[in-house]
Amino acid sequence: MESTSLNHSEQIHSLIQQFRFKDALTVLNQLLYSKPVNPIWYGYRTIIASEMHRKEELILLHRIIQNILPNSSQALLAKALLPGAEIEEAEHVLQFACEINPANPYLYYLLGKNYWMQSLLDQAVKEFSQCLTLDRYFVLALLLRADCYSRLGSHTNAFRDYHNSWCLSFSANRKHLRTCIAREFKAMVKIETNLKEKISEKDIDLFFSNF
């Protein structure tokens, strides 16, 4: 039974990282019907509703989780993602959730996303990095950390995270990712004086036209 739950959890997690939210929901709905007492399913359902911007569903999930899983990290997560929640309050709630369940990478991802939305980029990078320490294949965190690095002028790190996202994700926006990778690579060329003499803008454009 425990092994089966673990396999289901890995399947749902993989679908979320591939941006296949509807497929993840199909699996989750079956699990919530057959095994409604497993807290992790409600956590995943809340995260997916948030990523898909389903406000009414988030309100409903918050009510359900508060009733059946009070004082849990899932209840805190649902509270932090409740539409209309103050961003500072959400920050405190997610920090508390991390203390309760420090092994859950989604909590650090959401806390990092909270900082990212406030343009607190250094703090966001710290939380995304903690998420990736727990799960190095966490594409959602890689993409937002890459954006933070880019805006901070750390183009080598941004290039690495975008490239890793490209390698790990098959369903993400490939055109957008290719544009980001090219942008960061070009920024690296401009900064690195040694590379300037070896690689031209034309060379870069030709390379990425076939990427």
What CATH number belongs to 1-80?
A: 1.25.40.10
Could you tell me the CA-to-CA distances from 39 to 31, 52, 76, 170 in Å, in that order?
Answer: 11, 20, 12, 29
Sign of CA dihedral 182, 186, 188, 192: positive
The Cα–Cα gap between 106 and 90 comes to 14
From first to last of the 211 residues of the chain, give the pLDDT tens digit.
444 666 899 999 999 999 999 999 999 988 887 766 788 899 999 999 999 999 999 999 999 999 999 999 999 999 999 999 999 999 999 999 999 999 999 999 999 999 999 999 999 999 999 999 999 999 999 999 999 999 999 999 999 999 999 888 765 577 788 889 888 988 887 775 555 455 555 665 665 665 5
Instruction: State the amino acid at position 202 in one-letter form.
Output: K
The Cα–Cα gap between 177 and 161 comes to 10
Task: Give the global pTM.
Answer: 0.88
Alpha helices in the chain (DSSP H): 2-17, 21-34, 39-51, 55-68, 73-80, 87-100, 105-117, 121-134, 139-152, 155-168, 174-191, 193-196, 201-209
The Cα–Cα gap between 36 and 30 comes to 9
Q: 73-80 vs 105-117: helix axis angle to the nearest 10?
A: 20
8 A C-beta contact, residue 111 and residue 95: yes
